[in-house]
Amino acid sequence: MSTIVAPSLLAADFLNLERDILMLDRSEADWIHLDIMDGVFVPNISFGFPVINRLKKVTQKPLDTHLMIVQPEKFIDEVAATGATFMNVHFEACTHLHRVVQEIRKRGMKPAVTLNPHTPVMLLEEILPDLEMVLLMSVNPGFGGQQFIDNSVRKVAQLKKMILRQNTSTLIEVDGGVNLKTGRRLVDAGADVLVAGSFVFSSENPEEAIRMLRAL
Ligand code: DX5
Ligand code: ZN
């Protein structure tokens, strides 16, 4: 099975968003990763629902939303209305994570939980069976184009062990500083899904870059 690839729209050219989305749609990309930021949970603001609601009209690809916001439970309805397949919420942003996860599922989406680089994988021990996916951040969230944090490979391996031990079918997604080199190590450690922003959009041939990531 090939590696699932979810290019991050954050690195697209926002003046030519339709062109870039159509390129992703033509490509072998499996999903489109959408980074939603609030300037509070992370020190940056990206785009929100008006943009997502427009772009979903021009793509057939499943949407993988990554909410880098405080109180993501306030926006479950809005995310569901975009037709998103996955809703990723940060472990660090949810006091009542179990409730948020159940609400996401009730609204017909696949719940996923994201861990910042400093958050240990073992904190997911109890919630794991309720999740479709875990997203491990391999940079501090908020910006594209940052350097890959090496310890992420170890976290992938630890999470893989936990998944095998609990016998769940949870996917492992990794986000931040992913390229062919780091991607190879992540897949070897057990990653199922690679998010890539700069690597895809700054390459001369983004469709080929996506193909190469899928072949890892
Ligand atoms: C960072 C975002 C990422 C970002 C990755 O906060 O969650 O999805 O777009 O960008 P690259 O691949 O450039 O590190
Ligand atoms: Zn992301």
Q: Which residue of 31, 67, 139, 182 sits with most ligand 1 atoms within 8 Å of its CB, as the best mutation to test the pocket?
A: 139
pLDDT > 90 fraction of the chain, expressed in percent and rounded: 100
Tens digit of each residue's pLDDT (9 = 90 or more) over 2-24: 999 999 999 999 999 999 999 99
Residue range 68-97: average pLDDT?
98
Q: What pLDDT is recorded for position 44?
A: 98
Q: How far does residue 116's CA lie from ligand 1's centre (Å)?
A: 12
CATH fold of 4-214 reads TIM Barrel (3.20.20)
**pTM for this predicted structure:** 0.98
| Sequence ranges of the domains in the chain | 4-214
Within 10 angstroms of residue 140's Cβ, the number of other Cβ atoms is 14
Kindly give the number of the ligand 1 atom that is closest to the alpha carbon of 140: 6
Percentage of the residues of the chain whose pLDDT score is greater than 70: 100
- The pLDDT score that the predictor gives to residue 1 is 75
- What distance in Å separates the CA atoms of residue 44 and residue 36, rounded to the nearest whole number? 10
Percentages helix, strand, coil for the chain (3-state, rounded to 5) are 40, 20, 40
Q: DSSP characters for 116-149?
A: -TTS-GGGGTTTGGG-SEEEEESS-TT-SSPPPP
